[in-house]
Amino acid sequence: MTDLLSNILFIFQRLDWLNVIDILLVTLIFFGVLYLVRDTQARMLLRGIILLIILVALLTSLVNLPAFSWLLRTALPVLVFAIPVIFAPQIRRALERIGRAGTFFRSSRKNADQEMHETIQAVVSAAARLSARQHGALIIMERFDRLDEYVRSGIILQSAVTPEMLIQIFYPNTPLHDGAVIIAGKKIVAAACVLPLSASGILARSPERQMGLRHRAALGISEVTDAIAVVVSEQTGSISIAHAGRIIRRLDVERLENILIAFYSPEKIREGNFFQRHFPYLFPRKDE
């Protein structure tokens, strides 16, 4: 223990301002990587890997463990090739986010505000009417992450977003009513799309058992992308919304509209505590 403390003290004594800058740059890189995968399933896994690497590096540098050090040196090349394979989808989405940095909000300031407002109004109106009729629906609204791989699993439409179109798509027993509708901007890109199902167990732990495949698909797409999923229950007609692997149920029309506006309007995002007021389950306060 005395040797360990002496080694730690020796390291701190050798620190200068260049070393501090070096450490800060590495920390910023780690922070940036974690920030880019903040809404994905890889977040916790990557955080655990980084923490494990830091602990192991400190342990092997401060304590003489020849066999353990040899094992790490042998396994490191394998990890270098394995990590890009494991995190391939997340890496692709992160690079897309970097390439589109700032374009979403710049376009919002120019002409997309009105378009998104019309899209939101159409989705809210359709959800209200589908809810009243107890027609099940699953509407996915694209944000930063592209949904091309899920669009390809459905029927391409490229139609305008209108309540009548959405109601017709989800009318029972029509060819397109099964699966999800994907909306990008002011277009219904595709219908009858197949989405990944959530394996998180959130729905299984729910005290109610009225949430089926639509809700699992809504959670699933929200776990692997930053898309917003609006769900209308076929059994109860209740409206739910899912984002970032969380779901909130029993939304009325006004609250659904407020939440969607908050996601797509930079002005609303800048208003203090807007998300906490309208979406407390998805955006808990820091003191909770």
Please check the confidence at residue 272 and state whether its pLDDT lies above 50.
no
Number of domains in the chain: 2
Percent of the chain whose pLDDT exceeds 90: 27
What is the arithmetic mean of pLDDT over 8-24? 75
Question: Are residues 10 and 67 located together in one domain of the fold?
Answer: yes
Question: Are residues 129 and 252 located together in one domain of the fold?
Answer: yes
CA–CA gap between residue 240 and residue 214 (Å, rounded)? 10
pLDDT band at 34 (very low <50, low <70, confident <90, very high): low
Question: Are residues 257 and 124 located together in one domain of the fold?
Answer: yes
- Higher per-residue confidence, 250 vs 4: 250
Question: Is 101 inside any structural domain?
Answer: no
Question: Is 287 inside any structural domain?
Answer: no
What is the arithmetic mean of pLDDT over 254-259? 91
Question: Is 283 inside any structural domain?
Answer: no
- Higher per-residue confidence, 157 vs 64: 157
pLDDT band at 186 (very low <50, low <70, confident <90, very high): confident
Question: Is 11 inside any structural domain?
Answer: yes
Question: Is 285 inside any structural domain?
Answer: no
Question: Are residues 239 and 122 located together in one domain of the fold?
Answer: yes
- Answer for the pair 107, 101: CB distance below 8 angstroms, yes or no: no
Query: At which of 65, 96, 127 does a domain end?
Result: 96
Q: What is the DSSP letter of 196?
A: P
Residues spanned by the domain of 26: 2-96
**pLDDT (0 to 100) of residue 90:** 62
CA–CA gap between residue 141 and residue 126 (Å, rounded)? 14
The CATH number linked to 238 is 3.40.1700.10
Question: Are residues 260 and 144 located together in one domain of the fold?
Answer: yes
Please check the confidence at residue 213 and state whether its pLDDT lies above 90.
no
Q: What is the DSSP letter of 282?
A: T
Question: Is 286 inside any structural domain?
Answer: no
pLDDT band at 62 (very low <50, low <70, confident <90, very high): low
Phi-psi region of 47 (alpha: psi -120 to 50; beta: other; left: phi over 0): alpha
Query: At which of 46, 77, 96 does a domain end?
Result: 96
**pLDDT (0 to 100) of residue 81:** 73
Question: Are residues 68 and 180 located together in one domain of the fold?
Answer: no
Contacts 24+ apart (CB under 8 A), 163-172: 163/122, 163/125, 163/126, 163/129, 166/122, 166/123, 166/126, 166/130, 166/137, 166/139, 167/126, 167/129, 167/130, 167/135, 170/130, 170/135, 170/136, 170/137, 170/232, 171/135, 172/135
Question: Is 152 inside any structural domain?
Answer: yes
Question: Are residues 116 and 146 located together in one domain of the fold?
Answer: yes
Q: List 229's β-bridge partners, or say none.
A: 140, 242
Question: Are residues 257 and 122 located together in one domain of the fold?
Answer: yes
Question: Are residues 77 and 199 located together in one domain of the fold?
Answer: no
- Higher per-residue confidence, 144 vs 178: 178
Question: Are residues 170 and 224 located together in one domain of the fold?
Answer: yes
Question: Where does 185-261 show beta strands of DSSP type E?
Answer: 187-193, 228-232, 239-243, 246-248
Question: Are residues 43 and 91 located together in one domain of the fold?
Answer: yes
Average pLDDT in the chain? 76
Please check the confidence at residue 3 and state whether its pLDDT lies above 50.
yes
**pLDDT (0 to 100) of residue 287:** 45
Question: Is 269 inside any structural domain?
Answer: yes
**pLDDT (0 to 100) of residue 202:** 62
Question: Are residues 110 and 183 located together in one domain of the fold?
Answer: yes
Query: At which of 49, 78, 96 does a domain end?
Result: 96
**pLDDT (0 to 100) of residue 78:** 74
- Answer for the pair 192, 175: CB distance below 8 angstroms, yes or no: yes
